[in-house]
Amino acid sequence: MTEQELQRHMEAVSLQFFQKPFLHRAMFNTRLRTTGGRYLLQSHDIEMNPSYLESFGLDYFIGIMKHELCHYHLHLAGKGYQHRDADFRALLAKVDAPRFCQAIPTEQKMHRYTCLACNTAFLRKRRFDVKKYRCGRCNGRLKYVQEEIVQVSQEFQLLCN
């Protein structure tokens, strides 16, 4: 999808679900990592993450557009446009837009360890010396199993540090 097509989609979604025109710019921002889109308060433009279009498809991407358009139309109307505001939550429900985005799954190299006593499996990003560490559950000895490529989400990446 090009930026011109994104602009046309944003204008069409705005008219279809909000019955108001979208009068500013819609653009792609490839630097967005953990968010599907962003409404810019100063310029009233909307930036969209193209990775969500590639990963989840057009229907999900239109849901993100509706979410950002909720921020846009409420801010221009002088109403509560932030996630915690009742006006924002009511408009999200009215247009059936998601409140948060799913995390994009990515592939990552992980190291698998098992406990020799309780057979608990561990995944870690970094390899470590099994002689220096013990199992957190039973204090048993650990064994390095293998390196593997795993599909992980953003939340899982935070847990495995």
Q: Which residues have a catalytic role annotated? A: 68
119-123, 131-135, 146-150: segment of lowest average pLDDT: 146-150
Q: Which residues are annotated as a binding site?
A: 67, 71
Q: What is the mean pLDDT of residues 89-106?
A: 90
pLDDT of residue 158: 42
* Boundaries of every domain in the chain: 3-95, 106-159
Query: Which of 87, 5, 28, 11 has the alpha carbon at shortest distance from 36?
Result: 28
pLDDT of residue 159: 43
As a whole number of angstroms, the distance between CA 93 and CA 99 comes to: 9
Give the predicted TM-score (pTM) of the model: 0.72
- Between 102 and 117, the more confident residue is 117
Is the confidence at residue 154, as pLDDT, over 60? no
Buried residues in 46-78 as b, exposed as e (16+ CB within 10 A): bbbbeebbebbeeebbbbbbbbbbbbbbbbeee
Q: Which residues are annotated as a binding site for Zn(2+)?
A: 67, 71
Residues 10-69 pLDDT 10s: 999 999 999 999 999 999 999 998 889 999 999 999 999 999 999 899 999 999 999 999
Q: Could you tell me the CATH superfamily of domain 3-95?
A: Metalloproteases ("zincins"), catalytic domain (3.30.2010.10)
Is the confidence at residue 160, as pLDDT, over 90? no
Q: What is the mean pLDDT of residues 105-116?
A: 88
pLDDT of residue 2: 94
Contact present, 106 and 76 (Cβ < 8 Å) = no
Is the confidence at residue 108, as pLDDT, over 90? no
pLDDT of residue 157: 45
